Amino acid sequence: MKQQQIMFISGIDTDVGKTIATGFYANRLAAQGRSVITQKLVQTGCSGVAEDIQRHRKLQNLPLQQCDLDGTTCRYVFDYPCSPHLAARLAQTEIDLAQITADTQILAQQYDVVLIEGAGGLAVPLNNELTTLDYLQQQSYPLILVTSGKLGSINHTLLSLVVCQQRGIALQALIYNHYPQTDPIIENETQAYLQRYLTTHFPQAEFIELGEVV
Ligand SMILES: Nc1ncnc2c1ncn2[C@@H]1O[C@H](COP(=O)(O)OP(=O)(O)OP(=O)(O)O)[C@@H](O)[C@H]1O
Ligand SMILES: C[C@H](N)[C@H](N)CCCCCC(=O)O
Ligand SMILES: [Mg+2]
């Protein structure tokens, strides 16, 4: 019997490379013979089929799927490029998290692995009460966290990891995005520091390097 797996991909911030990392990780699993679909928790800043889903499919070298066209892979797409809680409010609606969970379950019945990309970082609000972190904790999905070598990443990464430990969220992997390249002295130590930190505090988690995707 095929093992179904749902994993959540978040990052230390918006624009850190979650979408690229999601496509990369999907391809890695597909190369191991597993069928993979991606889902976007909530998309802001566009209309129609979520732009992150479109990017995932391009990276996977797949056309848009029926589950993309009918909204199963991204139920909530909002125009305004901001936090989901605000984007939903501006659209005079609310994000129904039970609907998103139901969509994930439908996808999990059809694919071996569902990778859910969050919007922004872990503490991004989905409404006035709940953050992405709360949802992740409720669902007990393992987390793949995307980080980078940019100045400031050590602090943002450690804050994200400390809160995962406090909330009992399992870290599957830390993806270290080498893009964009900035200061090699800072980047090298950021990578080395985070690798040491992972070995000490999350020995079961994988450290994965992501290079520039062209
Ligand atoms: N490894 C990479 N190779 C090439 N381009 C990259 C890489 N990582 C990030 N980028 C580029 O940097 C920008 C931000 O990346 P991306 O869209 O993946 O961020 P994100 O974390 O998914 O943001 P959001 O919170 O909006 O979902 C994009 O233009 C993307 O193409
Ligand atoms: C529009 C943007 N690209 C992201 N998808 C949304 C990021 C929300 C971040 C909210 C915040 O941390 O203040
Ligand atoms: Mg993205």
Q: How far is the CA of 35 from the centre of ligand 2 (A)?
A: 29
Domains in the chain: ranges and CATH: 5-210 (3.40.50.300)
Q: Give me the count of residues in the chain.
A: 214
State yes or no: pLDDT of 102 exceeds 70.
Answer: yes
Q: Pairing between strand 113-121 and 143-148?
A: unpaired
* Under 8 Å between Cβ of 53 and 73: yes
Ligand 1 in reach of 209 Cβ (< 6 A): no
State the pLDDT confidence band at 107, using cuts at 50, 70 and 90. Answer: very high
Question: Residue 108 burial (CB < 10 Å; 0-12/13-18/19+)?
Answer: middle
Q: Which residues pair with 171 in a beta bridge?
A: 143
Looking at the whole model, is its pTM more than 0.90?
yes
pLDDT at 2: 57
Residue 4's pLDDT is 75
Q: Is residue 119 lining ligand 1, measured as CB closer than 6 Å?
A: yes
What's the start-to-end Cα distance of the chain, in Å?
A: 36
